[in-house]
Structure 1
Amino acid sequence: MNTRIVPAADVPEVDVITVTPALATKWLQQNTHNRPIRKRAIVDYARDMAAGKWLQNGEAIKFAEDGTLLDGQHRLQAVVTAGVDVVMLVVSGLPVETQETMDAGRKRTVADALGLRGEVNSTVLAAVLKRVWLWEQGDTKFGQNYTPTTAECAALLKERPEIHRSVEIAVRTHQTFRYLPQSVTGTAHHILSRIDMGDAVWFFARLGDGAELPAGHPVLTLRNRVMSDRADRRTVPDYRHMAYIVRAWNAVREGRELGRIQQPADAPMPLPK
């Protein structure tokens, strides 16, 4: 097959090709009629490719009859960025107008992929996996720079199946105390239980039921803070909820009272102890 991708036949041609960075660069020169590049997508794809997690799923690089690249610019640019060879399905000889119908469907999410695997509470599980992954990348504001790919989330779950338990705790806590996002509660449970499982069991049980907490107790202060935010209709981002939980956790671990919890927008995320 000619790497210029200009077939002689009048019907589409299908090939499976090992795309090198050099070949991807050449094909990108034929990218003259396409939507704007999304840099985040390139970075995400390149991480999977470099880690050997990029799977051939039947999605093709597509070229028009005149050789114009119609679909696949992000995947090709990711090959260049990752600097690795990737096997890809390539379809050429398509009418130019078919580009209008490409990528018209809703993109399958991490939650969709987990649901197809039979995972319970797949939406919460996907959200927790993303936040745990971001936290460990140093992005404690959850998604300010980039988000993990489906492959990265799957790898994290395989490495740490105990995240399933954190999701169960988050769902159960939400049934009795509905003022914190389940994604944040699950993320916090996983991170804090890795510090001290016993303390985490007690902490999240009391977060859920509020039982026998005296005035000034950090968990009671945490509960009161998030209930007050909800009553006042304040919009609280996930990272701030996470900061509230960590501040309460640290106070419990240090055996001190906590009269109030605050997290200014420009304040760094407190580190759990």
Structure 2
Amino acid sequence: MTVTIALPDEPEEPEADTVPRKLKITPEIAAEFLSRNSVNRRLDNGQVEALREAILRNEWQVTHQGIAFDRSGRLLDGQHRLHAIIDAGVPVEMFVFDGLSEDAFPVLDTGKRRSAADTLSSTGEKYLTLLSSTIRHVLLFRTMPNEPWTGVRSRVSNDRTLAEYKANVDSYRVAVTVGRELAKHMFASQTALAVGYFLTTEAAPAADIDDWISGLKSGANLDPGDARLVLREVPKDTVKRGSRRRLDMRDQVSMYIKAWNAWVRPEAAGELVLRSLRKNEKMPMPVEERFTR
């Protein structure tokens, strides 16, 4: 049985009073738009801060999401973007939609927010949650190594995550694989180990990385003072769920880097002691080991 569906000869025209326009919105324009706000949801300061940081990093991109007004000129959608523009003090371009029905407000932005892992799904990579977490913490190490990696300031935009992935595809792919494998033998999480591997091998590509990894995996025939053995012997109960001694991500990454530095430059290491970062203690930086030309 054949079912025929009749299609209109011409697509329906949108309502004449619903007109999208691209506009460079300055802080002054944003303030004026916000003065029309009467029906929006409660402000999420964390979301405003995340958008502000994206603007200041010049990562803002024009998408279909923008500012929307109803037929009476009241602001229906976009208050977080407008507040971010004011806080950043930087104009950005976005689409403005005028003349929406008042009935549209309940369905605006009701979908699930796209996660970084969702954004990376188009890459075809495996273990997207681990990959996105690894990228996020590498970026946090680079931008705020000595601040907590939690809270509003630690948010990383999806665009930034994807750009970092594209710039270092092979390195992140290997880091995720190594993180998954090392976590079978050590105290730290897969993410911490992937981050530690990425950062140290980026800084010291001339080091014998295979020897480092094999020692961490097996622990066989290592001298008592070997940095790999010290790292392997960090108690696993320090990261168990609910443990009072649980190490956060910065602690785990710092231990990995300290052990790596001691292994690459044993003559400068002294006695290696791995513990949580103390108050005001700065995150260690991986030592460099470059190929000579």
TM-score category, normalised to shorter length: 0.7 to 0.9
Question: Structure 1: which 5+ residue stretches go unaligned?
Answer: 1-9
Aligned residues: 262
Deviation at 1:50, TM superposition (A): 5.2
Q: Output aligned runs, 1:105-124, within 5 Å.
A: 105-124=111-130
CA contact (8 A) 2:254 2:277 kept: no
| Secondary structure in 1 matching 2:76 | strand
Preserved CA contact (<8 Å) 2:73 2:98: no
Amino acid at match of 1:244: M
Partner of 2:63 in structure 1?
A: 57
Pairwise CA distance, 1:55: 3.2
Match of 2:290 in 1: none
Question: How many angstroms does 1:267 deviate by?
Answer: 4.5
Q: Which residue of 1 aligns with 2:136?
A: 130
Correspondence for 1:13 among 18, 32, 35? 18
Find the aligned partners of 1:260 and 1:87 in 2 and give their Cα distance.
Answer: 52
**2:119, 2:276 → 1: CA distance?**
35
The question of whether the paired residues in 1 share the 8 Å contact of 2:230 and 2:272 is answered with yes
Q: Which residue of 1 aligns with 2:253?
A: 242
Q: TM-score, normalised by structure 1?
A: 0.81
CA RMSD, 1 decimal? 2.8
Name the aligned partner's letter for residue 80 of structure 2.
H
The residue number in structure 2 matching 1:165 is 174
8 Å CA contact 1:128, 1:186 repeated in 2: yes
Name the CA shift for 1:152/1:264 in 2 (closer, same or farther; >3 Å).
Answer: closer
Structure 1 residues 75-90: aligned runs within 5 Å = 75-80=81-86, 81-90=88-97
Q: What does the per-residue CA deviation read over 1:84-116, in whole Å, with 9 as the maximum and x for residues that have no partner?
A: 230314253332x64344333321111110013
C-alpha distance in 2, partners of 1:260/1:171? 25
Matched, 1:191 2:199: yes
Gap change, CA 1:257 and 1:129, over 3 Å in 2 = same
Greater CA drift, 202-211 or 25-34: 202-211
One-letter code of the match for 2:219?
G
Unaligned runs of 5+ in 2: 1-14, 288-293
Task: Give the Cα separation in 1 of the matches to 2:30 and 2:122.
Answer: 32
TM-score (norm 2): 0.77
Tell me the SS of whatever aligns to 1:83: coil
Q: Tell me what 2:275 maps to.
A: 262
Identify the range of structure 1 (230-239 vs 216-225) with the bigger mean alpha-carbon deviation: 230-239
Verify: 1:148 aligned to 2:162, yes or no.
Answer: no
Larger gyration radius, structure 1 or structure 2: 2
Query: Are 2:213 and 1:204 equivalent residues in the alignment?
Result: yes
